[in-house]
A and B are shown apart, each in its own frame.
Chain A
Amino acid sequence: MRIGDILTYAYGGVAGYRLRSLLMLFAMAVGVASVVVLTGLGEGARRYVTGEFASLGTHLLIVLPGRNETTGGAPPLLGETPRDLTLDDALALKRSAAIRRVAPVTVGSAPVSYQQREREVITIGTTAEFLHVRRLKILSGRFLPETDPRRAAPVCVLGGKLKRELFGNRAAVGQWVRVGDRRFRVIGVLASEGRAIGLDLEDMVVVPVASAQALFDTPALFRVLVEARSQSLIENARQQILAIVRARHEGEDDITVITQDAVIGTFNKIFTALTMTVGGIAAISLAVAGILIMNVMLVAVSQRTAEIGVIKALGATRRTIITLFLTEAGVMAAAGAAIGLALGYAAGAATAQIYPVLSITAPVWAAVSALLLAIGLGVVFGVLPARRAAALDPIAALARR
């Protein structure tokens, strides 16, 4: 039999029994759509998180106080406390030739008020270099002045949202606001930059690091952002940061240096694993749909006993009959899978309209493997019914009217 004729005949079998075929298509479509949507979600989350880290800037290293790796030695029973990371430590890093910029960061939460309006926002204490390290843009005015970082100047830069909430459409630059119990003059407003890990840059106030330390009454830094001179010098910079701080901390390795690459790589791995897991779970529903195909095809064989008898009498071989019924199962699975793909991508597109931040687009490998798996399952689960059809005794099949 010709391939075109086989497909036409199989299609006729699918189209000839509408309700049963529609239910089958629906089951398969749900299975495939769930694979597409769930892997799309996983993929979207992966891209969101890695995008967050990538938006931090390039050649970036993050220095955290404390150490999160064990190096052996005495257990920490003796009240060993991690040393603070101080402003002097941060400034000392500038000695390294591999390092271009250093931005110490102190973070706290403080009420910011202007006249009757008050907002509780994140307050960041840092230096002028923060602007370059984090690739921020200034909407109006200017960023923190490049003066001695140890000087607690009473100036601040507002995030875009905070500025709108405190000042509305009026100019903020030049006005005095109160942060905590101190007064600061607004010298600039940040441009909307969107999002960044853990910090909404729209909704914060930036002050000189020494001012923030006085405000929160602590000499400790939250972290230090370091920009290496080039991609190739990142590892070099890491070694030097560790060496410099070790020398300043009496030979103790009590800081952690994270490179951006490593963070992105780790999150990539985690989210890819997550995507594959949810995809695998969704694939179970595909297997269920496969069993349904078998059920439907078994019904088809018993419904069409006479038809099978006729095509046997007309000279169809065992193989022809098996081929016809397998193709029918395959056609049904493929059609269901195609509908499922369309549904899944439509759901992704709809979600993108509602939450533009999180794009739900299933990776191509997931869509392709869902499609192949669906067709494969259709054929595999079609084998038993097809063999049953081929084994029918034509005389018995034709004896029934």
Chain B
Amino acid sequence: MTLGLHGLRLRAGEFTLEFSAELHARVTGLFGASGSGKTTLVEIIAGLRRPESGRVCLDATVLADVATGKFLPPEQRRIGYVPQDGALFPHLDVEGNLLFAERRAPTGAAVFSRDRVCAVLGIGDLRSRRVTELSGGERQRVALARALVSAPRLLLLDEPLAGLDAARKEAILPYLRRIRDEFVLPMVYVSHVAQEMIALCDDMAVLSAGRLLQLGSVEEVFRQPATPEVARIVGVETVQPARMVEMRDGLATVAIGAVRLSALAAGLPTDTTTVFVSIRAEDVILLKGDGAVQTSARNQLAGTVRAVVPMGPTLRIELDCGFPLVAVLTRQSAEELGLAVGGRLAALVKAPNVHLIPRG
């Protein structure tokens, strides 16, 4: 799938959205604070808003081209759209909502049959319920199911987990992965939560004030933010793929290359084999020298300073500990440590600060 967004421009409130990019990934995340233009962009792709200039193409199909005046209305685009609150039709029950989508789906799309979609999303028991009687998590799953039943070529998800508590979010993420894998459906996933990007997306685009700041793989964007602004927006994080070594007594040991890290195993499926390790830069403590010290932190890593990047009152320190690790220090701390590129340091990270995100 290639979603071409060429020279898009639209004034929306206080900012002007200006976006040019080609999206190729299975799941592309649109990342940015509220008001950064994510929803506007998604609405342009869905055909709910007309850009003032630019062109939108999905593979060989031109969806909109301001220059030629072509505009395919949303009902002819076959692009599923799930907004934040699900936007279920309150005058219909769950089945009615699904039927609304199915009646207009192209025939012969058996992959997206109501029964199969309901089975994948686990909503078989809800079908006769009124939508007003659903919980937040159920509502989102029904909204996802309704979009799928319309047999889309592309699925747009606009903050589908916002407004859900942490436990419900955890419960829905596996369903999103199942949609991605079982229906082989490309997705554009809008969120301002880094964990969701890491858990679900292959690529991510960082937006701010209507502009695209960086587009790249999730690992790349977190590891090498293109600008200090991107670093500030994504939060400075170390994101690394890792292998599960063992899980015992609620503690997990994972390996990044030859380096082993301890983390909490809470909430991880027991059959997890590969994960993303995420460490916030603020959670990394640096010590002078690389001699072992007695500390309660489970992870002690010897590292070499590769780069020091000023970010306002703080410094972003890029270390090589056998894998790239990012830390944030105040200027004073850096001076006291005598920190310089090429210097040797020890990095401490407590096990609860090593976050494991299953990579399904």
A and B: interacting chains: no
